[in-house]
Amino acid sequence: MITGLKQKLDYSDYARIPPDGKRYELLDGDVYVTPALSPLHQRVSKRLQRQLEAYFEVSGRGEVFNAPIDLILTPHDVVQPDLVIVTDPGQVSGRGIEGPPALVVEVLSPSTRDHDRTVKARRYAALGIRHYWVVDPEASRVECYRGETAGYALVVKAEGEASMSHPDWPGLTISLAELWR
C-alpha cells in the first residue's frame, strides 16, 4: 500500500510549479494546463479590459485584473481567468485575488472552449462566483451568466457589432464592435 500521496493538489503544490509559458490551474485539486494565449485572444481580452476599466475603475466601483493572476477560491481551486473584476479591495493579497470576485471573464480559445463552458463554469458556480462572462472571438459573441440556485442562467447575450448593457451594472455598456476590430 502506498501512503503519503496527496489525493488532491493544493495551493502549496501549485505555487511550486516552475514557470514554462503555460497556464496552470487547479480545479477541485486536479491540475489543468493550457498553452500560451494567441494574439487574437490577447487582443480581445485587452479591448474588453479597457471597457471594463472605464466602468469599474474610473468610477471607483472596482478593479480589473488580467491574466495571469491567481484567483484563489479554495486551497484546491486556483485559476487564472482572462479577466477578474474585484469590488472588495480586501480580496486582493500578495498571492493574488482571494475568494469569489464580482465577475470572471473567460475568452474562449480552441484549446479551452469546452473546458471553460463545462468544467470551469460548474466549478465557478459551485464556489460562489456570481457573474461569469464567456467571450467567443470566433462567433463574435459575448454571453453573460448570473449565478442561480442550480448553476448559471444566461442574463444577456450579444453578437456581432452590437452594444450590450448588463442589468446588474447600470450604465455599463460594452461595444462588441470594439472587441473584434
Q: What is the reported pLDDT for 34? A: 85
Q: How many CB atoms lie within 10 A of CB 150?
A: 7
Domains in the chain with CATH codes? 11-180 (3.90.1570.10)
User: Long-range contacts for 42-47 (Cβ within 8 Å, ≥24 apart)?
Assistant: 44/107, 44/135, 44/137, 44/179, 44/180, 45/82, 45/83, 45/105, 45/107, 45/135, 47/178, 47/179, 47/181
pLDDT per residue as tens digits for the range 99-134 = 999 999 999 998 889 999 999 999 999 999 999 999
pLDDT for 3 equals 57
Which of 27-31, 77-81, 100-104, 109-113 is least confident?
109-113
Q: Phi, psi at residue 43, to the nearest 5°?
A: -60, -50
Out of 14-28, 65-79, 119-133, pick the least confident. Answer: 14-28
pTM of the model: 0.92
Looking at residue 1, its pLDDT comes to: 47
What percent of the chain clears pLDDT 90, i.e. is strictly above it?
A: 84
Is 18 buried (19+), middle (13-18) or exposed (0-12) by CB count in 10 A? exposed
Predicted local distance difference test score (pLDDT) of residue 7: 79
Phi, psi of 35 (to 5 degrees): -70, 170
H helices present in 57-175, as ranges = 113-115, 121-126
